[in-house]
Amino acid sequence: MPMNTNDGGFGGFGGGYGGIGGFGSQGRSFWEQFMGQGGPQSQGNEPRQPREPKPPKGTPATRIIKSLVITLIFAAIYFYFRVPALNIHTTSFWWFVGLCVVIFTICMVIFNRYRADTATDYIKYVKKNVSVPFWIIVGIIVLCIVGSVVGLVIFRSRAYSKLITIETADFSEDIDEIRWDRIPMLDADSANNLANRKLGELSDLVSQFTVNTASSQINYKNAPIRTAYLDYGGFFKWINNRKQGIPAYMRIDMRSQEVTVVRLQDGIKYSPSEFFSRDLMRHLRFSYPTFLFDDINFEIDEDGTPYWIASVVKKTIGLFSGTDAVGAVLLNAVTGESQYYKTADVPTWVDRVYSADLVVEQYNYYGKYHNGFWNSIFGQTDCTETTSGYNYIAQDDDVWMYTGVTSVTGDRGNIGFILVNQRTKTAHYYSCAGAQETSAMSSAEGAVQQFSYRATFPLLLNIADEPTYFMALKDEAGLVKQYAMVNVQQYQIVATGASLAACQQNYKELLLQNGIVAKEDVGEIAEDPEEAAKEEITGKIEEIRSANISGNTVYYFRLDQEKDKYFTVNAKDYPLAVILDEGDTVTLKYIAADGKLQEAELAE
């Protein structure tokens, strides 16, 4: 749009009624003069005696520049604090543009200093001068409406159903019996509780930081863990600690329930609890102003270096619809250095590019609309949707999201389930009619109703080629007390146990008793599963330590046969532990678990 800087230019500043605003001697609006158009003459049948004009300060070009400068300052402040993506596929961008137009218009009206004789005259003047920005904003609204309408599922149902590709697979062939050291025993809430308790033990951290509840389940060195990061306790605590940054993060082993505090030589400088330029979202936006970010997860590489994994998405249907991930930004949480990778090039140590919510949304589009939109309304032939929850399975050094699949007609049974790789979006569907997860949870809780335990959302395991729900049973304090296994197809078959090994043995026994599997499929079933699961080790004591925990003395023995572990023995249960010395030979029984600490008992 060319700028006319003559006296009859933008705003009619070259003579007029004066005051705040923009009629020139010809009665032209500043938009008309800016466009180089002639304005109408002053209207009215009766001549009016004009008030003494108050000449505007500066030239028309000066006033335009002033308005632009103020608008740019507003835009910079808004962008800094609200960090909208400069991308036409998000409504926040168009809102940003509309606000800038409004600010520029207000500035031009003010700098034109028009002074009307009556309120009616001034209203007419304002209406005339806001006509152009009004139509610009109307155009933005129309564009957004049209962009949304062309992306409606009624018109583009086929495109929505193709956002994810589903491969049908066989459960018993595709899913091996998972190793017990790969099964996560904790859910997110339990892991966060453990992290908070661990933080409470650290006097140098607990007063300055809090544990963020958004922990991420990942595979670290082929084992399921959750990584929890710390937030500053507030603005003033950020001021006290900003120089060194956040000094540690937590690694929660999902099998042994051990929490490891990982101290960093250089603290985390970029996180959601930072302020100003080190705020995570602001740092990402300034580096990638046009990217649309969907999900930002805290992960660590194989060396334990903390990273933020920011999924980058695009809109593939219409202007604002059809969300799909196209890559990820890997941002070093310590240095702030970042690198963008397309989905096919994301390093294999990264576990989450496609968020669980995005996967669920895409499958629901597929399940409802792969036979067309009208079928989803009337016939509903082969229309499915996911159940109300999901969980994660560690497999092939990746994290796979699990969720059940049910009919849209609202029955309480599952017709199958899906496993989706969260790094590659490889999606497998397994046909398996059975109980929904919530029904299995209720069945497990009913088996121990005398304790009022609550079941976690289940994992799906292969036990003797039988699809099996596995879940932890927690007390009111959120502590895991028992484990439960429920057969997917016959959810009245429920086994519980105080340990994973006991639960598995009890479950296999129930499968055998109910004629679901043959004896050769379940192997030897011990009379005492807890005892059968225990391993035995004999060795010389190389080191002894002790600690008082909740009023009980616990001894820590390191043996020459297993130098990387400390075996813990409670003196209350095994008084002989008190008289043992370094160099003594002992025999210990234990149920194998990962981590440096291993609960044990003295063998007789």
Is residue 44, in this structure, part of any structural domain at all?
A: yes
Question: pLDDT-based confidence at 58, cuts 50/70/90?
Answer: low
Residue 211 and residue 169 share a domain: no
Question: Among the three residues 242, 268, 294, which one is the final residue of a domain in this structure?
Answer: 268
Residue 523 token pair: 């192997």
Q: Is the pLDDT higher at 188 or at 291?
A: 291
* Domain co-membership, 567 together with 521: no
Residue 222 to residue 439: CA distance in whole angstroms: 32
Query: Does residue 427 sit in the same domain as residue 484?
Result: no
DSSP state of 551: T
| Domain end marker among 350, 374, 397 | 350
Q: What is the mean pLDDT of residues 261-288?
A: 96
- Together in a domain, 51 and 115: yes
Same domain? 37 vs 132: yes
In a domain, 138, yes or no: yes
pLDDT class for 8, splitting at 50, 70, 90?
very low
Instruction: Answer yes or no: are the C-beta atoms of 597 and 253 closer than 8 Å.
Output: no
Question: What angle is formed at CA 268 by the lines to CA 215 and CA 263, rounded to 5 degrees?
Answer: 80
Residue 10 lies inside a defined structural domain of this protein: no
Q: How confident is the model at residue 40 (pLDDT cuts 50, 70, 90)?
A: very low
- C-alpha gyration radius of the chain: 33
- pTM comes to 0.77
**pLDDT category of residue 523 using cuts at 50, 70 and 90:** low
pLDDT band at 74 (very low <50, low <70, confident <90, very high): very high
Beta strand pairing call for 166-169 and 427-435: parallel
Does residue 197 sit in the same domain as residue 247? yes
State the pLDDT at residue 404. Answer: 92
| Same-domain status, 64 and 136 | yes
Domain count, the chain: 6
Do 142 and 47 sit in the same domain of this protein?
yes
Nearest to 112 by CA among 217, 10, 199: 10
Distance CA 416, CA 426 (A): 17
Q: What is the rounded CA–CA span in Å between residue 291 and residue 338?
A: 14
What is the residue whose two structure tokens read 């003069």? Answer: 33
Residues 453 and 476 in one domain: yes
Q: What is the domain range of residue 333?
A: 278-350
| 27 three-state secondary structure | coil
* Highest mean pLDDT, choosing among 125-129, 288-292, 372-376: 288-292
Q: Is 417 helix (H, G, I), strand (E, B) or coil?
A: strand
Q: What's the average model confidence in pLDDT over 237-251?
A: 95
pLDDT for 602 equals: 86
**Residue range 386-426, pLDDT digits in tens:** 998 899 888 778 899 999 999 988 667 889 999 999 999 99
C-alpha to C-alpha distance for 493 and 495, rounded to whole angstroms: 7
258 φ/ψ angles, rounded to the nearest 5 degrees = -85, 135
pLDDT tens-digit map of 82-130? 999 999 999 999 999 999 999 998 888 888 766 666 777 777 777 776 7
Of 433, 462, 493, which marks where a domain is finished?
433
Per-residue DSSP letter, 51? P
pLDDT(427) > 50 = yes
21: in domain = no
Are 3 and 104 a contacting pair, CB within 8 Å?
Answer: no
Contact 496, 453 (CB under 8 A): no
Question: Same structural domain for residues 160 and 119?
Answer: no
Q: How far apart are CA 118 and CA 139, in angstroms?
A: 32
Top-confidence residue, 153 or 60: 153
pLDDT tier, 190 (very low <50, low <70, confident <90, very high otherwise): confident
Using an 8 Å Cβ cutoff, are 191 and 252 in contact? yes
Neighbours of 350 (CB within 10 A): 20
For residue 37, pLDDT beyond 50:
no
How far does CA 299 lie from the centroid of its chain? 12
Residue 562 inside a domain? The answer is: yes
Tokens describing residue 499: 């340990």
471 and 521 together in one domain = yes
Spatial separation of the C-alpha atoms in residues 83 and 102, rounded to whole Å? 19
pLDDT digits (tens, 9 = 90+) for 565-579: 889 998 888 888 888
Segments of 533-574 assigned E as strands: 535-549, 552-559, 562-570
Instruction: Say how far apart CA 561 and CA 317 lie, in whole Å.
Output: 62
- For the cut 60, the answer to whether the pLDDT of residue 26 exceeds it is no
How far is the C-alpha of 313 from the C-alpha of 433, rounded, in Å?
34
Rounded CA separation 475/452 (Å): 7
Mean pLDDT of 167-172: 85
Q: Please indicate, yes or no, if residue 23 is contained in any of the structural domains.
A: no
559 forms beta bridges with 541, 562
Give which of 251, 212, 218 is closest to 232, Cα–Cα.
Answer: 212
Domain annotation covers residue 273: no
The residue type of 359 is V
Average of per-residue pLDDT values in the chain: 84
Instruction: Read off the pLDDT of each residue in 277-281 and give the average, rounded to a whole number.
Output: 96
Which residues face 548 on adjacent strands?
553
| 496 in a structural domain | yes
Q: Identify whether residues 375 and 459 lie together within a single domain.
A: no
Report the C-alpha gap between 229 and 195 in whole angstroms: 10
Query: How many CB atoms within 10 Å of residue 344?
Result: 7
For residue 592, give the CATH number of its domain: 2.40.50.140
Helix (H, G, I), strand (E, B) or coil at 43: coil
